[in-house]
Structure 1
Amino acid sequence: MPEVMFAGPDGRLEGHYHHSEDPNAPLALVIHPHPLHGGTMNNRITYTMYRRFQMMGFSVLRYNSRGVGRSQGRYDGGIGEISDAAAALDWMQMINPNSSELWIAGYSFGAFVGMQLLMRRPEIRGWISVAPPADDYDFNFLAPCPCSGLMIAGGRDNMAPEPVIRKLVEKLNTQKNVTVDYRLFPEADHIFSQQAELIADALEDHVTTRQKNLFAPEPASIAAPALEHDAEPEHEAEAIG
């Protein structure tokens, strides 16, 4: 069931969902970049993270926030978009009541939305933030950050400057029981045009390491399913924000 529609706070939301054959499979929610800058669930980085979670045996959802694609409503400055993410999470948890764990992943503006959601949902066990816009949004709400995660930056990113992201990482790493796995791609700009698979590799390495150390003593018990025919979309390679 790759194409889904589910209820959001401002109308129906459109998504693509992969359901694992394992009823206890972990869940992942992937959040796209800024809708006013072309960000949709078909963004290349968003799609690549979705596919990697799928290959790892997760049940995983990517979706269009309000006003994007076939999703109803209109852009709400970030506040409504956080509510959309919560609705997407509610829908996925409703059909996966026996899931073993929950992860969120976001790119650019989606990273901001994901971290806001993290503070509202204590059941989230880990997070992936790619190019979080720490120069444009105040991330002081992460006080304290509920759990550890992975943060990725591009060394040539003018939209989410690496020094600002590094400062955020250092601040989070001073918090008790929180360790941020920081990965820098020196040649990458905000689009990560040559680094999509490297981001996916970093995601898999971080998640499997966390599962081995903290969550699942026997991660091999989660079998990766055969990939369904979810045709690769035309990516918004220039979507930013």
Structure 2
Amino acid sequence: MPEVIFPGPEGRLEGRYHPQRSNDAPIAIVLHPHPQFGGTMNNKVVYNLHYAFHQLGFTVLRFNFRGVGRSQGEYDQGIGELSDAASALDYLQSLNTNAKHCWVAGFSFGAWIGMQLLMRRPEITGFISVSPPANMYDFSFLAPCPSSGLVINGSADRVAPPADTRSLVGKLHEQKGITITHVEMEGAGHFFEDPHMEPMIGTVKDYVARRLTETTR
């Protein structure tokens, strides 16, 4: 899988790019957890999400936010990181101008950034939000949420308590025209440590595969 360096708002951003042979393959970006708490694009959840999308036929990009790894710049409270995500999507789209579908997946802090990107980019047709930290960040910008997606969290999450995630999903359910699928995995923590990683990724793959089938009918 090629390492890539592409331009971001504050300098170079480092990523991993995994293309398909087909030039009209769907595309996805995967966003990592909080940079100040050890989050990188090689986080286990992010890595597994990346490969899940690739196995489903997507061309995939994951990358390090500013100040992480070889990405230039420094942490910017989520504001700059949202700009980084937009630049990453621009880069991915520039290499895949015939892509039929565009998805964003994010884990924890990355889920928050991904949902904000969703609001700004109408071409995003689906999202995966893993362990969204609804207790730490304001998700009220999702009014209305522009596309359907999957929210998945663990019942034993001590970082982002399940009650806050349920409350977030409840607000999204009230909106018309989209379908939010919510899966709370029994016994799983914030990071989906084994034995929960494999079933979590399986749930994501089943959901994305079903959505792709629906759109090609």
Under a length normalisation based on structure 2, what TM-score does the superposition of the two structures give? 0.98
Letter in 2 for 1:208: A
SS at match of 2:67: coil
Q: Which residue of 2 aligns with 1:203?
A: 204
Letter in 2 for 1:44: K
Aligned-pair identity in percent equals: 54
How far residue 116 of structure 1 moved from its aligned partner, in angstroms, is 0.4
Q: Which residue of 1 aligns with 2:128?
A: 128
Under a length normalisation based on structure 1, what TM-score does the superposition of the two structures give? 0.88
* Residue 111 (1) aligns with residue 111 (2): yes
User: Whole-Å Cα distance in 1 between the matches of residues 177 and 199 of structure 2?
Assistant: 27
Give the number of equivalent residue pairs.
Answer: 216
SS at match of 1:145: coil
SS at match of 1:24: coil
Letter in 1 for 2:206: D
Cα displacement string for residues 53-93 of structure 1 (whole angstroms, at most 9, x for unaligned residues): 11111100000000000000000000000000000000000
* Residue 175 (1) aligns with residue 175 (2): yes
Q: Which residue of 2 aligns with 1:153?
A: 153
Letter in 1 for 2:51: R
Task: Identify which of structures 1 and 2 has the higher relative contact order when contacts are C-alpha pairs closer than 8 Å and 6+ apart.
Answer: 1
* Residue 27 (1) aligns with residue 27 (2): yes
User: Whole-Å Cα distance in 2 between the matches of residues 164 and 201 of structure 1?
Assistant: 24
Long gaps (5+) in structure 1: 218-241
How far residue 140 of structure 1 moved from its aligned partner, in angstroms, is 0.4
User: Whole-Å Cα distance in 1 between the matches of residues 94 and 41 of structure 2?
Assistant: 21
SS at match of 1:15: strand
How far residue 161 of structure 1 moved from its aligned partner, in angstroms, is 0.6
User: Whole-Å Cα distance in 2 between the matches of residues 189 and 176 of structure 1?
Assistant: 31
User: Whole-Å Cα distance in 2 between the matches of residues 208 and 140 of structure 1?
Assistant: 29
Q: Which residue of 2 aligns with 1:228?
A: none
How far residue 129 of structure 1 moved from its aligned partner, in angstroms, is 0.2
Long gaps (5+) in structure 2: none
User: Whole-Å Cα distance in 1 between the matches of residues 113 and 91 of structure 2?
Assistant: 17
The residue correspondences of 1:89-104 to structure 2 (distance < 5 A) are 89-104=89-104
Cα displacement string for residues 112-144 of structure 1 (whole angstroms, at most 9, x for unaligned residues): 000000000000000000000000101000000
How far residue 21 of structure 1 moved from its aligned partner, in angstroms, is 0.3
Q: Which residue of 2 aligns with 1:230?
A: none
SS at match of 1:84: helix
